[in-house]
Chain A
Amino acid sequence: MNESYYLLLAALLFTIGGLGVLLRRNAILVFMSVELMLNSVNLTLVTFSRTTGTLDGQVMAFFVMVVAAAEVVVGLAILMSIFRSRRSASVDDASLLKF
């Protein structure tokens, strides 16, 4: 099996995630897109772990998962607080701060 397919899939997922961050309007979906990007990182790491013949990549994937989980905790708390005060999770509504 050719490993480059996995790398291409990961790159595709990363791109979809990146586009999601830029195009989506709902803060929760923006955040989900970031998580998708981190998951594509995990796929890349595990694939490279196989190509380079080292275990580091698999261990790093666990680190990324833990960090992503911590990010969820903090992120959802912040999104909750802004949703409660504005009744909206749209990133376009939060526009008090500008030039």
Chain B
Amino acid sequence: MPVEIQSPALAYAPVAPLLLVFAAALISVLVEAFVPASSRRVVQIWVCAVGLVLALAAVILLAGTEELTFSGAIAVDGPALFLQGTLAVLGLAAILLLSERSLDSSGGAVVARAAVLPGSREDAVLAEATEVQTEIYPLALFSLGGMMLFTACNNLLLMFVALEVLSLPLYLMAGLARRRRLLSQEAAVKYFLLGAFASAFFMYGVALLYGYAGSVDLGDIFAATGTAGTNDALLFVGLAMLAVGLLFKVGAVPFQAWTPDVYQGSPTPVTALMAACTKIAAFGALLRVLYVGFGRTEWDWRPMMWGIAILTMVVGAVLAVTQTDVKRMLAYSSVAHTGFILVGVIALSPQGLSGTLFYLLAYGFTTLASFAVVTLVRDSSGEATHLSQWAGLGRKSPLVAGTFAFFLAALAGIPLTSGFMAKFAVFAAGVDGGATALVIVGVVASAVTAFFYARVVVLMFFSEPPLDGPTVAVPSGFTAGTIALGLAVSVLLGVLPQPVLDLADNAAQFIY
């Protein structure tokens, strides 16, 4: 018997930011095919810039929209638009970092030809060549498109597809470093295998929730949690599996093992993209799942999330103290920050939601810019990331060391920086939500993180520089502009946070 198929209602205008980024990504693929190699890089940068700026403009035009579209699979609402706008700006900044080429003697952070064997004679020649693997631009755009979609998914199947669209390009990008290629390839393998493992858990969770509710729409799952007589085992096991997938992406303990290795091995601009944008997108999805789909079962998942938040804050802060590599230290600090953000997520209130949104924006800009500073300190073999090499940097280049010290202060949450306002927002929401114990752990963990940030500052300003120490490279406008942007946002959000806090307050309303 033929089945009558009704075509779903599709409204394209509310998803314009996504369409623009994906269109730019497709054009970027065509550029790879048809534009001569000599001018490809410039064209690609323009395609990325135009696509992301238009996406940001579309987000601004859509501000205030609250609409479910694509048969309820995509929710265009305040949190989605807020995070999409943030992702567009941060994504563009990360792509500009990727395009920097005046730091190295040759073509920047991205490998010339990924297929050439590391350590071979051809590789040594290519390392100094100006040639560059421009496929990284379409990969970055697809990944950003996936991230922007991830924050707006109201349907778990679409969320799985978005998860893969954002992850698969990142796995490849992690392996494309120009220097220390073996480390980079190893980071890609680790990220890929663990990422695939986590997404299998995610999808098994989706399958169990489908069995529970008969649908994978978050709204239907929410409705099903209110009815008696359904099989709660499916609900709880399903939610736990789903949470494994999402907590892996945000880098929460005990699913954080990949973070330091991948952050250290990847090309630093790609690390910046992962640290800032992936975290924002994954928290966007986690917020939507917990607030929209499981708002009624909070008493069942809250103890688990409490434990994870505490573990994440403590383990991230303590392990960061023992690190000797700048990138690894920033990676563990990002784990600790995941814990702080989880305090806002667990509050499950409009205040917690707006605090989390504000935190994600503030943290994104600060962390992106601090990785940008890491790209500047170099020796003959590339970036000098060992902490001992950073000793006395304040005497060689007070400007760079001072900027980095400011970013560390912002990450530590010193007053008059964005980090202070962000931490205040989520911790206040935590106390109001009755999670005082959690906030106390958070404050103690903040103190521990402040200790190791201070240690780096002392190292930079109060110790003798090593004789054969690294030099500070002079960047072009791409990196300098990104650092300036990060600095401006970190200062402004610390001194005059009210407009952005209001923006986050107004955005803090999910629809379903």
CA–CA, A7 to B505, complex, Å? 44
B210 proximity list for chain A (CB < 8 A): 45, 48, 52, 56-57, 60
State whether A78 touches B188 (Cβ < 8 A).
yes
B188 proximity list for chain A (CB < 8 A): 78, 81-82
Q: Mark A6-41, 1 if CB is under 8 A from B, else 0.
A: 010000001001100100000100110010011011
Taking A31-B196, A67-B164, A78-B192 as given, write out 18 further A-B residue pairs in contact, using a Cβ cutoff of 8 Å, ordered by the A residue number. A7-B211, A21-B193, A30-B193, A31-B193, A34-B200, A37-B200, A37-B201, A44-B211, A52-B210, A54-B215, A56-B216, A60-B210, A60-B216, A71-B199, A75-B192, A91-B189, A97-B190, A98-B261
B117 within 8 A of A: yes
Q: Mark B155-181, 1 if CB is under 8 A from A, else 0.
A: 001001100100010011001000001
Q: Mark B245-275, 1 if CB is under 8 A from A, else 0.
A: 0000000000000001100110000000000
CA–CA, A97 to B174, complex, Å? 14
26 residue pairs of the A-B complex, CB under 8 angstroms, read A18-B197, A21-B197, A27-B193, A31-B196, A34-B200, A37-B201, A45-B210, A47-B211, A54-B215, A56-B216, A57-B210, A60-B206, A60-B216, A63-B160, A71-B164, A74-B192, A78-B172, A78-B185, A78-B192, A79-B189, A81-B114, A85-B118, A85-B119, A96-B186, A97-B264, A98-B261
B240 within 8 A of A: no
A75 proximity list for chain B (CB < 8 A): 171, 192-193, 196
State whether B200 touches A78 (Cβ < 8 A).
no
Within 8 A of A (CB), among B187-231: 187-190, 192-193, 196-197, 199-201, 203-204, 206-208, 210-211, 214-216
B324 nearest CB across to chain A (Å)? 9
B54 within 8 A of A: no
A7 proximity list for chain B (CB < 8 A): 211
A31 proximity list for chain B (CB < 8 A): 193, 196
CA–CA, A85 to B164, complex, Å? 27
A94 proximity list for chain B (CB < 8 A): 186, 189-190
Interface size for B (C-beta < 8 A) is 44
Checking A37, A81, A91 against B193 with a beta-carbon cut-off of 8 angstroms, the contacting residue is A91
Q: Mark A65-91, 1 if CB is under 8 A from B, else 0.
A: 001001100110111011011100001
B311 within 8 A of A: no
A20 nearest CB across to chain B (Å)? 10
State whether A97 touches B208 (Cβ < 8 A).
no
Of chain B, the residue at the smallest CB distance from A22 is B197
State whether B204 touches A81 (Cβ < 8 A).
no
Compute the total of residue contacts between A and B using a CB distance below 8 Å.
124
Looking at chain A, what size class is its interface with the partner chain?
35 or more
Of chain A, the residue at the smallest CB distance from B237 is A11
CA–CA, A95 to B190, complex, Å? 10
State whether B216 touches A97 (Cβ < 8 A).
no
B114 proximity list for chain A (CB < 8 A): 81
CA–CA, A97 to B476, complex, Å? 30
CA–CA, A86 to B182, complex, Å? 9
B459 nearest CB across to chain A (Å)? 20
CA–CA, A14 to B430, complex, Å? 37
B171 proximity list for chain A (CB < 8 A): 74-75, 78
CA–CA, A77 to B164, complex, Å? 16
Of chain A, the residue at the smallest CB distance from B328 is A99
CA–CA, A36 to B26, complex, Å? 32
B164 proximity list for chain A (CB < 8 A): 67, 70-71
CA–CA, A46 to B180, complex, Å? 46
State whether A71 touches B168 (Cβ < 8 A).
yes
B443 within 8 A of A: no
With A27-B189, A54-B214, A94-B190 known to touch, is A85 a contact of B200 (CB < 8 Å)? no
Of chain B, the residue at the smallest CB distance from A86 is B182
A81 nearest CB across to chain B (Å)? 6
CA–CA, A81 to B322, complex, Å? 32
CA–CA, A18 to B168, complex, Å? 20
CA–CA, A6 to B203, complex, Å? 17
